[in-house]
Structure 1
Amino acid sequence: MRRVGEAAFSKVEKINSELFSLTYGAIVTQLLKDYEEVDATNTQLEKMGYNIGVRLIDEFLAKAQVGNCGNFGETAEVIAKVGFKMFLGITAEVVGVSEKEFSLQLPENPLAEFVELPEQYGSLAYNNMLCGVLRGALEMVQMRVECSLTKDALWGDEVTEIRVVLKEMMEEEYVDDD
């Protein structure tokens, strides 16, 4: 999977990582000003991520050239080794895999590169957009999931960890207009 991730990474247009992380920080700062509370900002970050994931999956499927995953564990590996590499330039570690859930651990996180959370924003899920991206992308491939940040380096943890729980495999519906 790592080689597939490297190949996919080479096919996408890249931007400066510092510019990317500073731009993301500006978005989070503006949301905090607009919503004036951390919980509403966390929700909005997840929603924004969801909308990005819905669109990002098309590029992923077109450029990554990965086949169908046989189980949820394979899905986790593809996300960790190909998806994260392709779009963030990093790989994640998959831990705690079962039939219905897994966690992705990010030892490094380009979104939080220059970030320190002030005390009043201690419960800010700064990386919540990643949860939304995963939820949106997986929903487009017929997996309804729940994603949550369980650890964050910005909260003092050693790694950032995202828990993904499969709620249901959705059935594709075909509606004949005749």
Structure 2
Amino acid sequence: MSRQNTRLDQKKVNTELLTLAYGSFVTQILHDQNLNIDEVNKNLERIGYNIGLRLIEDFLSRTAAPRCLEMRETADRIQQAFRIYLNIQPAITNWSSSSDEFSLIFENNPLIDFVELPPEFSNLRYSAIICGCIRGALEMVQQEVQCFLVQDQLKSDSCTEIRVKFIRRLEDAIPAGED
């Protein structure tokens, strides 16, 4: 017998595995927090923040990207990171007139495949982990931002929109005791 060539698309398999694992993860947090949606939202954002703190190092080592001097460069780097880590490319739109605020538009959010929210979880910010990740990564490169979900496909919106607003540039600080 000959072996049939049954090659799997590795990126699709990885994305589906991430989606299923993330769904199980959110379900576990819901149970751990006794279905307290506000606490779950805080936890998802905090976990994403902690991931972002660590992910930025890997991103910088992979890309050797120089420091961003303006938010348009930062937006391009965020878009590049989504291509590298999630194999998606959000559109960058809705720039504020002062160029300190923009939106990331996801036509397809890989975290929400296979997910349906029951009505009692309508306040759950399922993709808040992405907002936290962006915030944590940018904080590590001395940019304080506010990041929040504006639209969510899980809530019958046509796309998922994440708004990123520059707050201030953080000062480089030397850790205490290392003068």
> Structure 1 stretches (4+) deviating beyond 6 angstroms?
none
Q: Counterpart of 1:9?
A: none
Check conservation: 1:73, 1:97, Cα contact below 8 A. no
| Residue 18 of structure 1: how far off its partner (Å) | 1.1
Distance 2:86 2:105 in 1: 14
Give the aligned residue type for 1:112: I
Q: Counterpart of 2:117?
A: 117
Q: How does 1:2-41 map to 2 (within 5 A)?
A: 16-35=14-33, 36-41=35-40
| Residue 14 of structure 1: how far off its partner (Å) | 9.3
Under a length normalisation based on structure 1, what TM-score does the superposition of the two structures give? Answer: 0.87
Give the aligned residue type for 2:118: P
Q: Counterpart of 2:5?
A: none
Under a length normalisation based on structure 2, what TM-score does the superposition of the two structures give? Answer: 0.87
Distance 1:95 1:160 in 2: 13
Distance 1:68 1:17 in 2: 30
Q: Counterpart of 1:73?
A: 72
Q: Counterpart of 1:87?
A: 85
Q: How many residue pairs are counted as aligned between the two chains?
A: 165
Check conservation: 1:150, 1:161, Cα contact below 8 A. yes
After superposition, what is the alpha-carbon deviation per residue over 1:114-159, rounded to whole angstroms, capped at 9, x for unaligned? 1111111011100000000000000000001111001000011111
Q: Percent identity?
A: 44
Give the aligned residue type for 2:78: I
Instruction: Identify if the C-alpha distance between structure 1 residues 154 and 177 changes in structure 2 by more than 3 Å, giving closer, same or farther.
Output: closer
Q: Counterpart of 2:3?
A: none
What's the RMSD between the two structures over aligned residues?
1.7
Instruction: Identify if the C-alpha distance between structure 1 residues 14 and 118 changes in structure 2 by more than 3 Å, giving closer, same or farther.
Output: closer
Q: Counterpart of 1:102?
A: 102
Q: Counterpart of 1:167?
A: 167
| Residue 69 of structure 1: how far off its partner (Å) | 2.2
Instruction: Identify if the C-alpha distance between structure 1 residues 20 and 177 changes in structure 2 by more than 3 Å, giving closer, same or farther.
Output: closer
The secondary structure found in structure 2 opposite 1:68 is coil
